[in-house]
Homo-oligomer: A and B are copies of this chain.
Amino acid sequence: MQALKYSRQRESIKELLMARHDHPTADMIYTDIREIYPNISLGTVYRNLSLLSDIGEIKKITTGDGADRYDADTHPHNHFICRLCKNVMDLKMEDIGYIKKSASKDFDGIIEDYSVIFYGICALCKDCHKEH
């Protein structure tokens, strides 16, 4: 039975993640957190991101291209990834939670969760024909 003990590193990772909204990778977080804890290791960052994700305090976003991203916003919302600049952004759109019911309808198992990612070209890349 594993009791959770406080750690400054974990706290700092979560704070950092709550302060930004660009869905950073473990490595981006590692780089930033080193300014506060210069000796923190990448392994610790990965371990804490996994742990926070397991207990539901953050969300892992698997993009299908490169490293996983992390998001401190656990409210139901969807993401968009620009195929040019690769930025991961929040999408403002109406709730589509009912697709879960839709999926459950003729299914014998249990649908617990779902994740949606939209792909395309972001506003900036659309206008400039280059990456951002």
Check A55 for interface membership: any CB of B closer than 8 A: no
Q: B106 contacts A114, CB within 8 Å?
A: no
A91 at the interface (CB under 8 A from B): yes
For the complex formed, measure the closest distance between the CB of A65 and the CB atoms of chain B, giving whole angstroms: 8
1/0 contact trace for A59-75 toward B, CB 8 Å?
01011100010000000
- Contact, CB under 8 Å: A123 / B102: no
B-side contacts of A116, CB under 8 Å: 99, 114-116
Counting every copy of the chain, the complex holds: 2
What is the interface of chain A mostly: helix, strand, loop, or mixed?
A: mixed
Q: B106 near A110 (CB under 8 angstroms)?
A: no
The distance in angstroms between the C-alpha atoms of A126 and B120, with both chains bound, is 37
Q: Is A1 an interface residue (CB 8 A)?
A: no
In this assembly, does A16 line the interface, its C-beta being within 8 Å of a C-beta of chain B?
no
A35 CB-CB contact with B under 8 Å:
no
